[in-house]
Amino acid sequence: MSFVTLALLLWQAKAPQAAQNPRAELSVQMGYRVNPDTVIIGQPFNLFVKVLAPKGVRFEFPPGPDTTTSNGVRPIELRGEKVVTMLGDTAVALYSLVAWDIGTQPLRFPDVRVTFEGQERRPTLAGASVFVKSVLPADTSLRIPKPARPLIVLPVINWLLWLGLLAAAIAVVLLWWAWRRWRNRPKRPVDPYARAQQEFARLDARHLLEDGQRAEYFAAMVDVAREYLAARIPGVRRSDTTSELLRAMKPGSGAEMDLARLLEHADLVKFARADVSIEEAREAGRTLRAVVDHVEARVNPESGVAKRIAASKERAA
């Protein structure tokens, strides 16, 4: 029996025992890569992990780096969420990281956990690191810091001055509002008889008769009487014609009987340019005054003009 034949027999004897062993050794291969491997503070970089294992295994990648701080600084921080995928029997994980301290910084990742039928493998990531370079010049003594800023001094506001100005502004607004209300206050109604007497006096003060403006004086006196009658007699309007005014007024005795003649003559003067002498104009003015007095005494028996007319009648009797 040759040596080769003896080796075959020994292999055949051991082969069934290996096939009957259900717990064959779990073979796991892992690799990782840091990209880029040199960064500055705050610059993102990636950790790429790839694990190859037989079919049916279970992969557990760490959630991220160790979050404990060193001297108050967290050197490595995970940005976002890890990305894990399967490519056949190969598991791939991608971590987006950022470094916050200079120098060689270990990524401080826990081990990857691979399990299969009670067996466990822990491929380590302890050797993964990144180099964080400083942006300071090589000789930091050449760096000239900026001068310290002065302390912030908050201004002291004189609130009494502003309150005084506000009070003055409010007072001015109130005074302006009161003045407007006083200026726009409703005017007290003027008694029609008193207003007629004021208008008669104003026409006399203009001396229209002395200036030769007889027709203007006559027409103006008639207009004053019309205004009074429209304000005092119910049913009489300023726009009434002569016939409408007389019909609504129903003149009484005395001076009122001359009202129709004066109104018709005034229509001729206004619309037909009829002439009127100075005596006729003066007499028409006196008559119109008397008409206003008699109408006032008739509609308002308690007035002073009514008492005066009554007294003059008694004296005449």
The pLDDT tens digits for 177-187 are 999 998 888 87
Sign, CA torsion 9/14/19/24: negative
Q: Is the peptide bond before 36 cis (omega within 30 degrees of 0)?
A: yes
Q: Residues 237, 127: one domain?
A: no
**Token pair for 52:** 């190859």
**Token pair for 24:** 């064959």
The confidence score (pLDDT) of residue 88 equals 66
The count of structural domains within the chain is: 2
Look at residues 68, 103, 134 and tell me which one is the last residue of a structural domain. Answer: 134
Range of the domain at 232: 192-316
Look at residues 117, 134, 151 and tell me which one is the last residue of a structural domain. Answer: 134
Q: Residues 105, 210: one domain?
A: no
Q: What number of H helices and E strands is found in the chain?
A: 8, 11
Is residue 103 included in any domain, yes or no?
yes
The pLDDT tens digits for 263-274 are 888 888 888 888
Q: Classify the phi-psi angles of 235: left when phi > 0, otherwise alpha if psi is within -120 to 50, otherwise beta.
A: left
Q: Residues 288, 197: one domain?
A: yes
Is residue 155 included in any domain, yes or no?
no
**What CATH number did the domain enclosing 111 receive?**
2.60.40.10
Q: Which of 90, 99, 85, 87 is nearest to 128 (CA)?
A: 99
d(CA 108, CA 65): 5
Mean pLDDT calculated for residue range 224-242: 85
Is residue 229 included in any domain, yes or no?
yes
Q: Residues 102, 203: one domain?
A: no
pTM as predicted? 0.41
Mean pLDDT calculated for residue range 52-78: 79
Is residue 162 included in any domain, yes or no?
no
Look at residues 134, 151, 171 and tell me which one is the last residue of a structural domain. Answer: 134
